[in-house]
Amino acid sequence: MTTWQQYLDENQPRFHEELLDFLRIPSISSLPEHAADVAKAGEWVAARLRKAGVENVRMMQTGGHPVVYGDWLHAPGKPTVMIYGHFDTQPVDPLELWTDPPFEPAVRDGRVYARGAADDKGNMLIPILATEALMQTEGKLPVNVKYFFEGQEEIGSPTLPPFVAEHKDLFACDMVISADGGQWAEDQPGLSVAFKGLCALQINVEGPDHDLHSGMYGGSVPNPIHALVRIIDSMRSPEGKIMVDGFYDDVRPLTADEQTQIERIPFDEEEYKARAGVDGLFGEPGFTTLQRGWARPTLEVNGIWGGFQGAGVKTVLPSKAHVKITCRLVADQKPAHILDLLEAHIAKVTPPGVRVTVERSGSTAQPYMMPLDHRGNEAARAVHLKLYGKEPYYVRSGGSIPVCSMFLESLDAYTVNFAFGLNDENVHSPNEFFRLQSFEKGQTAYCMLLHQLEEVAA
Amino acid sequence: MTTWQQYLDENQPRFHEELLDFLRIPSISSLPEHAADVAKAGEWVAARLRKAGVENVRMMQTGGHPVVYGDWLHAPGKPTVMIYGHFDTQPVDPLELWTDPPFEPAVRDGRVYARGAADDKGNMLIPILATEALMQTEGKLPVNVKYFFEGQEEIGSPTLPPFVAEHKDLFACDMVISADGGQWAEDQPGLSVAFKGLCALQINVEGPDHDLHSGMYGGSVPNPIHALVRIIDSMRSPEGKIMVDGFYDDVRPLTADEQTQIERIPFDEEEYKARAGVDGLFGEPGFTTLQRGWARPTLEVNGIWGGFQGAGVKTVLPSKAHVKITCRLVADQKPAHILDLLEAHIAKVTPPGVRVTVERSGSTAQPYMMPLDHRGNEAARAVHLKLYGKEPYYVRSGGSIPVCSMFLESLDAYTVNFAFGLNDENVHSPNEFFRLQSFEKGQTAYCMLLHQLEEVAA
């Protein structure tokens, strides 16, 4: 009789082809013109789930991009887990920095290069393939499994909370297993126990109601770009401390234990700088780089634009200027409250003579933290020990996975993070890639995890 | 026998059609993809000159956009004047703010709306039509006239100085008459006696060598946009004083006479604000709005860009940020020296961890001032008295016409500014227009001016 591992080995060539097909769909959730592609990616996932032997597969409308759901619930007395991932991707600009077209996957040196390769198409396909292997070789799954794949993670899953709340019973589970995220290193497992929250806004500044001749009006008419840079520059000190009143008030300080735990984890600052492609680092005084990344909130400008951006010179005093800003938040900051503080700050520092409007983005995420000894973590830890021969690190992430806190609120279920991306894979940047080795190892790991979970009392 | 005025009256319908043809050519000199259109506009001008009876008409290569030259030199013992204008235009963005497509001229309420209508196609066509009227009715011109029309004024005429120096003899003249500029008001003539100089640069800031995930690197890796806003914000005080060391050192202070002369000119601040479309003004402390615009140097950001500018949210820490800045200069500031001071300031305030490069633009202009009682001004003043029944104001402009100082340096000839644009015609902005009444009045004025100049001793 074929084992699931033999089945995985025999079918890898086909699985690789399927991954490339999946990556060819330009499912960019932030760009309206790609909405149909996001839906197309959802259809692809639904078809792949059915092929794997999953039942009750359906596309569900959310008011935003769709969710693909399916389940296999024939393990009475066993726990019910819900596997999560997302089939949408980040945008691709700046396009000119890509070696290959972002949606024409290229395989080189055991890596597949494409937007979404690691975040999250490569990772979310893994549990589907593991499911097929178990169904094909054992005829069943060790536990009850629900599958929940969404298409709006990269824009903060704005319409998911009401949708999930509305279908509480359908999605009810003992825990969520997230196939979005990664491991500490190729040979070192990690269990993510905390994610940062997120809030985002756009500031629009208008000066004159039309572009003006800089010679006729310069020096006398307020320039919206000068006003905007004043506003932005007031938000952060040169050292990197955020100067918005009250911004740090709700930050949970690191306990001595948490500090020790972070110090136990090796962190190579030189390698970090090399990955970032910078000569030097900076940051909020009084904290290490790892503490800043994991346990301190941040504020970053993501984009700015206004006036003339073409070749040559245009002697214009522009009418408008815009900036996009996101903050990464930690427990117990609340996104809506932080946006209130930012708006109050902007109102306070806006120079006279310009009109400012602030657009709050629907993309928000609550900060998330889970107990280290959660039974799902214990099961994952057991798999890690077998697969890597090492204890996992209990790590945090500066990234945001809004669904973790959302599932906790709506379903009272913590999310165990079990995915195989690695930190150097250029997620959200040009030339994103995923290691095919991680792709295969992940399939084995998911088969093992589902068996491991069988032993967890429901 | 037909007088030149009768000839002008009879031929206006044709002249209007010719103006519209001229305006249909999208001769944007700052955009490489429009270089062929600039040349096409030059060909149009050359053909029109020949048709008017001008001799030795030719396109001349300058190393940049071409110059169109022609002459009529059969008035021995009379002065030789060289008429100047430009057939290139500003860019058109933001395109969405135009009521009509910028290069599909629309005539409404006695105005023609198009990019270049006032600056400078409408104005530069005037002397050509006046020439035709005189040649057709009197068979000759009252003075020797050279015609010099260029295609790179809107980018600061970068290749003109060496070109003119190289052809000193061909362009030798007693004075230049510029058909680029305007009058004080519809019923009030003005003589421009000073223009501001100009220098321009672009600042490029690079942080990480590729875009980064703001969650993984935010708060620790220097963000080039934050660095850029710090640099820009340091250049101007909130009140509008330029904070670059040495920036004001070479500024010629206003004499008591000059101040009185400026005070004699009515200036309606409310109307100025209404034209600019702003609620309030600001500016360098200790000066009036008119003094700031005419006699004080300025620094304005013309455009800024970096990172994500699309719809929605992209949680990125961008790799690059850019800004375009121009300064308007007054006598006796030197553009190259001001650029040195700006570069020194930028180097001084650049925060650590980012790489900054400064691109100096070829678009520079020396500040220009001429004697009020120059004989060309006297001739123009006589025409104004007849045509308007009023003494002209001796005005300055915050705008730059680099060729005035260039002709002074190369040809030792001052430039008399004799043009008919008005301040509300949205030059350099969406919905630029030119009054057809000014177009016709200008033709009459040029016929009168050439006769008036006949009385000026050569």
Answer for the pair B305, A93: CB distance below 8 angstroms, yes or no: no
Q: Can you tell me the distance from the alpha carbon of B326 to that of B334, in angstroms, rounded to the nearest whole number?
A: 14
Residues A424-444: pLDDT tens digits?
Answer: 999 999 999 999 999 999 999
Q: Which pLDDT belongs to residue B458?
A: 47
B-chain residues within 8 Å CB-CB of A326?
A: 214, 313, 315
Nearest to A307 among B97, B223, B304 (CB): B304
Cβ contact B229–A226 (<8 Å): no
Nearest to B303 among A276, A308, A323 (CB): A308
Residues 6 or more apart whose CB falls under 8 angstroms from that of A193 comprise A369, A370, A371, A372, A377, A394, A395, A396
Q: How far is A143 from chain B (nearest CA, A)?
A: 34
Answer for the pair B111, B422: CB distance below 8 angstroms, yes or no: no
Cβ contact A302–B316 (<8 Å): yes
Cβ contact A219–B198 (<8 Å): no
Q: How far is B76 from chain A (nearest CA, A)?
A: 41
Residues A376-425: pLDDT tens digits?
Answer: 999 999 999 999 999 899 889 888 777 898 999 899 999 999 999 998 99
Nearest to A304 among B283, B298, B307 (CB): B307
* Cα–Cα distances in angstroms (integers) from residue B187 to residues B184, B392, B423, in the given order: 8, 10, 13
The answer on pLDDT for B341 being more than 90 is yes
Q: Can you tell me the distance from the alpha carbon of B176 to that of B185, in angstroms, rounded to the nearest whole number?
A: 23
pLDDT greater at residue A395 or residue B49: B49
Question: Where do we find the tokens 């250049």?
Answer: B235
Cβ contact A216–B293 (<8 Å): yes
Q: How far is B390 from chain A (nearest CA, A)?
A: 24
Give CA torsion, residues B148, B149, B151, B156, to 10 deg.
60
The answer on pLDDT for B436 being more than 70 is yes
Q: Where are the alpha helices (DSSP H) in A139-255?
A: 160-166, 168-171, 214-217, 224-233
Nearest to A313 among B200, B214, B219 (CB): B200
Q: Model confidence at B457, in pLDDT bands (50, 70, 90)?
A: low
Q: Model confidence at B433, in pLDDT bands (50, 70, 90)?
A: very high
Q: Considering only CA atoms, which of B279, B90, B349 is closest in space to residue A352? A: B279
Answer for the pair A79, A453: CB distance below 8 angstroms, yes or no: yes
All domains of chain A, ordered by start, with CATH?
4-195+367-454 (3.40.630.10), 197-251+297-360 (3.30.70.360)
Q: What's the whole-number average pLDDT of chain B?
A: 95
Residues 6 or more apart whose CB falls under 8 angstroms from that of A72 comprise A53, A54, A55, A131, A135, A141, A144, A145
What residue of A is the nearest CA neighbor of B269? Answer: A220
Nearest to A353 among B280, B303, B363 (CB): B280
User: Phi and psi for B279 in degrees, rounded to 5?
Assistant: -85, -35
The answer on pLDDT for A62 being more than 50 is yes
Residues A10-33: pLDDT tens digits?
Answer: 999 999 999 999 999 999 999 999
A302-324: average pLDDT: 96
Residue type, A120: D
Answer for the pair A278, B208: CB distance below 8 angstroms, yes or no: yes
Q: Which pLDDT belongs to residue A261?
A: 77
Q: Can you tell me the distance from the alpha carbon of B458 to that of B455, in angstroms, rounded to the nearest whole number?
A: 9
B-chain residues within 8 Å CB-CB of A198?
A: 215, 315
DSSP string, B210-268: S-EEHHHHTTTSPPHHHHHHHHHHTTB-TTS-B-STTTTTTPPPPPHHHHHHHHHS---
Q: Which helix (H) or strand (E) holds B334?
A: none
Q: Model confidence at B365, in pLDDT bands (50, 70, 90)?
A: confident
Distance of CA A408 to the CA centre of its chain: 17
Q: Considering only CA atoms, which of B149, B163, B153 is closest in space to residue B30? A: B153
Residues B142-170: pLDDT tens digits?
Answer: 999 999 999 999 998 889 999 999 999 99
Q: Model confidence at B391, in pLDDT bands (50, 70, 90)?
A: confident
Residue type, A339: L
- % pLDDT > 90, chain A: 86
A-chain residues within 8 Å CB-CB of B293?
A: 216-220
Answer for the pair B416, B178: CB distance below 8 angstroms, yes or no: yes
Strands (E), B87-186: 106-108, 111-113, 144-150, 175-178
What residue of A is the nearest CA neighbor of B317? Answer: A302
A313-334: average pLDDT: 95
The answer on pLDDT for A458 being more than 70 is no
What residue of B is the nearest CA neighbor of A317? Answer: B302
**B318-327 per-residue burial string, b: 16 or more CB within 10 A, e: under 16:** bbbbbbbbbb
Q: Which pLDDT belongs to residue A172?
A: 97
Answer for the pair A228, A323: CB distance below 8 angstroms, yes or no: yes
Answer for the pair A303, B308: CB distance below 8 angstroms, yes or no: yes
B-chain residues within 8 Å CB-CB of A303?
A: 225, 306-309, 314, 316, 318
Q: How far is A227 from chain B (nearest CA, A)?
A: 9
A338-363: average pLDDT: 95
Residues A84-96: pLDDT tens digits?
Answer: 999 999 999 989 9
Cβ contact B324–A318 (<8 Å): no
Residues B56-115: pLDDT tens digits?
Answer: 999 999 999 999 999 999 999 999 999 999 999 999 998 999 999 999 999 999 999 999
Residues 6 or more apart whose CB falls under 8 angstroms from that of B270 comprise none
A180-197: average pLDDT: 91
User: Phi and psi for A162 in degrees, rounded to 5?
Assistant: -65, -35
Residues A214-260: pLDDT tens digits?
Answer: 988 999 999 999 999 999 999 999 999 999 999 999 998 888 877 88
Give CA torsion, residues B171, B175, B180, B184, to 10 deg.
180
The answer on pLDDT for B264 being more than 70 is yes
* Parallel/antiparallel/unpaired status of strands A368-369 and A190-195: antiparallel
Q: Can you tell me the distance from the alpha carbon of B144 to that of B234, in angstroms, rounded to the nearest whole number?
A: 53
Q: Considering only CA atoms, which of A364, A346, A32, A55 is closest in space to residue A199? A: A364
Answer for the pair B387, B187: CB distance below 8 angstroms, yes or no: no
* Parallel/antiparallel/unpaired status of strands A415-417 and A298-307: unpaired
Answer for the pair B244, B199: CB distance below 8 angstroms, yes or no: no
Q: Can you tell me the distance from the alpha carbon of A94 to that of B212, in angstroms, rounded to the nearest whole number?
A: 12
Nearest to A210 among B353, B361, B430 (CB): B430
* CA neighbours closer than 13 Å in the CB half-sphere of residue A7: 19
Residues B172-212: pLDDT tens digits?
Answer: 999 999 999 899 899 999 998 899 999 999 999 999 999 99
The answer on pLDDT for A363 being more than 50 is yes
What residue of B is the nearest CA neighbor of A329? Answer: B215
A-chain residues within 8 Å CB-CB of B328?
A: 214-215, 218-219
Residue type, B187: D
* Cα–Cα distances in angstroms (integers) from residue B243 to residues A232, A359, B196, B234, B246, in the given order: 19, 32, 20, 7, 9
A-chain residues within 8 Å CB-CB of B97?
A: 210-211
Question: Where do we find the tokens 């970096």?
Answer: B306
Cβ contact A220–B305 (<8 Å): no
Nearest to B276 among A217, A292, A303 (CB): A217
Q: Model confidence at A181, in pLDDT bands (50, 70, 90)?
A: confident
Residue type, A30: S
Structure tokens at B429: 């902005």
* CA neighbours closer than 13 Å in the CB half-sphere of residue B161: 13
Q: Which residues pair with residue B433 across a beta bridge?
A: B113
Q: Which pLDDT belongs to residue A427?
A: 94
Q: Which pLDDT belongs to residue B274?
A: 95
Largest CA distance in chain B: 85
Lowest-pLDDT choice from A388-397, B226-235, B435-444? A388-397
Answer for the pair A455, A381: CB distance below 8 angstroms, yes or no: no
Give CA torsion, residues A400, A402, A408, A414, to 10 deg.
-40
Residues B13-47: pLDDT tens digits?
Answer: 999 999 999 999 999 999 999 999 999 999 999 99
The answer on pLDDT for A205 being more than 70 is yes
A-chain residues within 8 Å CB-CB of B221?
A: 276, 278, 281-282
Give CA torsion, residues A346, A349, A351, A356, to 10 deg.
10
Question: Where do we find the tokens 């003075």?
Answer: B143
Q: Can you tell me the distance from the alpha carbon of A364 to that of B308, in angstroms, rounded to the nearest whole number?
A: 18
Cβ contact A210–B277 (<8 Å): yes
What residue of B is the nearest CA neighbor of A242? Answer: B219
Distance of CA B336 to the CA centre of its chain: 20
B-chain residues within 8 Å CB-CB of A289?
A: 220
Residue type, A74: H
Q: Which helix (H) or strand (E) holds A441?
A: helix A436-454
Nearest to A304 among B208, B240, B304 (CB): B304
Q: Which of A30, A315, A432 to mutate to test the interface with B (most CBs of B within 10 A)?
A: A315
Structure tokens at A219: 């020096």
Q: Which residues pair with residue A112 across a beta bridge?
A: A107, A434
Q: Considering only CA atoms, which of A193, A31, A15 is closest in space to residue A121? A: A15
Q: Which pLDDT belongs to residue A388?
A: 96
Q: Can you tell me the distance from the alpha carbon of B147 to that of B160, in angstroms, rounded to the nearest whole number?
A: 15
ipTM of the complex: 0.73
DSSP class of A188? B
What residue of B is the nearest CA neighbor of A293? Answer: B216
Largest CA distance in chain A: 85
**A105-121 per-residue burial string, b: 16 or more CB within 10 A, e: under 16:** bbeeeebbbbbbbbbbb
Q: Can you tell me the distance from the alpha carbon of B328 to that of B332, in angstroms, rounded to the nearest whole number?
A: 12
Residues A397-411: pLDDT tens digits?
Answer: 888 777 898 999 899
